Structure 1
């Protein structure tokens, strides 16, 4: 993908749990994408298909659909039904949520309601990686407070989602999967499994970065997209 093309097309953005569109901002700034071409669809619905009307309205022909974590799951499910030219998915888990995770998710949701997003999330966070690790944590906790009101819908969405491999197999536009090699929440092998399902795909391993690679080192994420064979990212499939 050429940077100049990326900076001239609309980006439709699906953030993750307790995240706003700000999770993409440093990465898109590094790519040179102006604010006017960024459209965020907030995660405020409990079902995958509930996002289709908003995404159809936002995804003009030629748009780039970009999702992170829970937002990447929504994008992976719906990309085959949208008029986009490219799909970019950070930290994707293409499988259905295991039932044993539901109590943990419900506990987080209860704490968010009782304590606020930042206070509930902070003790659950693992170490951040990358050159911007301190700022990444600060930004994430700020977003958690801003989006705390969406946690009930996000919890149900995460818990009830089906697997996305079938929809990825029907997605005929190019799909890029990016995952940090230190990501313990959505390990690299999940991106590889997803890529094997998508007809036109590539996997980029973000060396030394974790689940929040977009915030941990946005410059490296940008270089990995535009120069995927250099030291900043390895195109492994």
Structure 2
């Protein structure tokens, strides 16, 4: 698949916790995808089952792309949708670890009390790439803009089942991409997702972390193009 073909397709985008569709912008700009071809799903509902309408009547030529919590939601629907391609960045396909509940609840409380940016500033983040300060500022800006979604997103993260069964029943190509330095969703989790999907492929993003899409959007775009060309 060449760049013009990628650019001509409709993209359904699912951002992560305290993220907006901005997380995909640099990546899609590098692929040449026009703004008019991008449709974002707000993670504003507390259950995976609440997102059925977002995938209804999905065009067969579309590309579904999710990041982090958005990748989790997209992966949960892998056996119920038939887009041209499913692309998952920073995916943890497993049910949530119960040991994370308290930290998730603490983040939810802080976001409600002080806003998304201030809450994240209390929590050290490992940022990689050539412009870490710019990346960090973008993350804070997205968190502030999406603060009102934190209660639904916390419930969504806590209550999700494993996505591996849905991935195992998928029929479309599934691309799983993870930064080699991703501590939130390590490469082993992205590998598990790709291995579960009959047409799954995994690619490491060298030297990048959980926010690889912002840390180096050009590298993410190149990796996706190479995987699609090889398919």
TM-score band, normalised by shorter chain: over 0.9
Cα shift readout 1:184-230 (whole Å, capped 9, x = no counterpart):
1100011111111100011010000000000000011111111359x
Alignment-derived partner of residue 146 in structure 2: 147
User: Match of 2:204?
Assistant: 205
Count of residue pairs brought into register by the alignment: 229
Do 1:117 and 1:141's aligned partners in 2 also have CA atoms closer than 8 Å?
yes
- Choose 78-87 or 134-143, whichever is displaced more: 78-87
Cα separation, 2, equivalents of 1:55 and 1:27? 22
Deviations 1:109-139 (A, max 9, x none): 0000000000001221422101232211111
Contact 2:46–2:153 (8 Å) recurs in 1: yes
Contact 2:82/2:171 (<8 A) preserved: no
Q: Partners in 2 of 1:51 and 1:10 — Cα distance?
A: 18
Q: 1:1-237 maps to which residues of 2 (within 5 A)?
A: 1-57=1-57, 59-228=58-227
Q: Structure 1 residues 201, 212: CA separation in 2 closer, same or farther (over 3 Å shift)?
A: same
Q: Secondary structure at the match of 1:6?
A: helix
Cα RMSD for the two superposed structures = 1.4
Unmatched tracts of structure 1, length 5 or more:
230-234
Structure with bigger RCO (C-alpha 8 Å, 6+ apart): 2
Mean Cα displacement is larger for which, 119-128 or 203-212? Answer: 119-128
Q: Distance in 2 between matches of 1:173 and 1:193?
A: 17
TM-score, reference length from structure 1: 0.94
- Hey, what's the Cα distance between the residues in 2 that align with 1:137 and 1:151? 19
Asked whether the equivalents of residues 132 and 215 of structure 1 are also in contact (C-alpha less than 8 Å), the reply is: no
Instruction: Using structure 2 for the length normalisation, give the TM-score.
Output: 0.96
In 2, Cα distance between the equivalents of 1:205 and 1:189?
10
C-alpha distance in structure 2 between counterparts of 1:91 and 1:134, whole Å:
20
